[in-house]
Structure 1
Amino acid sequence: MSKWNKAWTAGIMACALTMSAAPGLAHAGDMSIGALFPMSGPNASYGDIFGSGANLAAEHINADQMLGGKLSIQYEDSQALPQQGVIGMNKLVNVEKVPYVLSAFTGVSKAISTIAGRSKTVAVNGGGVGPDLAELGPYFWNIIPLANYEVRAIIPYLINERKLKNFVLVYVDDPLGQAIRKEMESVLPGAGGKLVEALSVPATAQQFGGIAARVRAANPDVIYVASYGSQQSQIVKQFRDNGIKQQFASYTAFSIPEINALPEAAGSLYTSQNIDWNSQDPVTRRFVDDYRKKYNKMPTAYIANYYNAVRMFGLLAQQLIKKGLPVTGENLLKQRIESASFDLVGGKVSFAANGTVTMPMQINEIDGKGGKVVSTSTR
């Protein structure tokens, strides 16, 4: 049994009950939603992180009896790969017949969006940040600010506050990395910065000695890493081992425990959505308190995103049940459009017409002690 399965068997068993009727047509009663997370491979740690938030939300929905029955989550292993994501999505839609699927990673999300639209199944992304995820149709929603907001938040801070003007971008050669490169090429000149080199790496690469030599030759002020999982850890470690001392910067992917515990990553800066973990609003307080009790640590923005994605299903389905309407993807979309806002972790959240959210951003610094917020931005 894989590490992910060992870690999650208890959690999934606790909240997973099989429906007696097709879940996509359910009224009050037991329901299932789906999740396409990496449970194996180099990005399996993200599956652990995302699933911890999703499972806690299901536990809260069931404890509150919001749906008149039990909510379960059917997990499929995407391995963070588009092809595996499509296989998992087809199973969730055609076999499990779920009306609502949690998605992650830009490449996977783009690959499954056609299936979501064709089958009228809602897909909700809480982890991928490629800006083009805002253009995948009415059944694809983003509950995380996309990379254009993250890049626009950190560049003025690096240039104006840290006086770092010359950038090297090291990016994974996939839709996420390509989108961040495009955004940096667009934003940097107007902000007073310069992209002196943009270096792509294959998604499977783990050796970066050659890339490190090119970074040294470029001699930038700051190195922006647009990667994820074990690859980003190897980039940071191998660059430091090769004598590169410049400032590292990145996006939300740097929030994972592996990076925060890496000595070579100390001092790195990264963006994430701004959430006041000390807020006294009931949803945020309950989430933080129960997560800390369950896992003996503070949550992160990723965890909040997938909690919010599942909680949002609960709120939408609850309204449909009250109206006597079946909980289908089509009705969930109509109810989201009708709803002005949602009480989620971090406060009230509203959606734009294209299914995206905009939130205040914060800039975090890795300090080996859980990190600290150094700036906030509304960009």
Structure 2
Amino acid sequence: MQQPVNRQVILKSRPSDIPQAENFAVIESAIPSLNDGQVLVRNVYLSVEPAMRGWVSAVANYSEPVAIDGVMRSLTVGHVVESRHPDFQNGEVVTGMFGWQDYAAVEAAAIQRKVPDNGLPISTALGVLGINGLTAYFGLFDLSQPGPGDTVVVSTAAGAVGSCVGQLAKLHGCRTVGITGGPEKVDLCREVFQYDEAIDYQTDDFEAALALACPDGVDIYFDNTSGPISDAVMRHINVGARITLCGTASITRWDPIPQGPRVHRQLLVNRARMQGFLVFDYVDRYAEALEKLTPLVRNGELRYREAILDGIDQAPDSIASLYRGDNLGKRLIRIAPDSI
């Protein structure tokens, strides 16, 4: 019988822009053996994030770039298949930054959390009950601080983060306006994620549509894009507006620093606040957010969509696919059965 191998996606070359399939290679290696205190995880789902573009870039970022010939950094969820640590048992489901590979031998400290049997698919631990839902929760409630009746505008509103932000704001009594691209995503925003208004920046007269959707101005802007979309929204901010910077998807090159309209005057005149954040700064509060989010997902108040690709060979093109807008929902790669 052929022995199982560990398939790994490694970074072969550093992209100057959005990572493409040719920047990666799929290789095979031996399944790693364990040292005392380590755990062997059989990954089931690999996560694909827009932030991965920054993780492989040579331009200064909030984390060290993935090394050439190194396994691509990624959040994953999988099963413990061997443990040499007393806190982890075979069969438990865990999540962490285990990389694009079949198997990962990790220190116990690298395990972000155990995923409970909550009646939901384990894939949700990477999306609505993972990095995306957590980003939405902390970005909205800690930074944006919504109040009933606030107008909340969200860019990439049909995405894994944006869709959560819109729904959480709606549940909090806000009026929600989603910005997205394409009629299918507009329908998703309106019919599934229950935005009060949804704008297609690709085909609508965006400036006019935005003014019509926000007749009383914008109290909160949850920014996942930067660029021209954000420039337009800034012209509508109210006194005391809160702008939360979560992503810069429209910026394809970071060196030199992009130049554009200066927003200082809008911020000054409206006494508004603009702040960036990273969800990894909130690790010690993940349990708090999950306690609030899990029942909302279970009872259908917080809806989600997943766009799942099958097979590790799909990984090299998956980041580029994300930026092409091919997915409707959280992009995941399934490389093993959900249960063992």
TM-score higher than 0.5 here? no
Q: Which has the higher helix share?
A: 1
Q: TM-score range by the shorter chain?
A: 0.3 to 0.5
> What TM-score, normalized by structure 2, do the two folds share?
0.40
Structure having the higher strand fraction is: 2
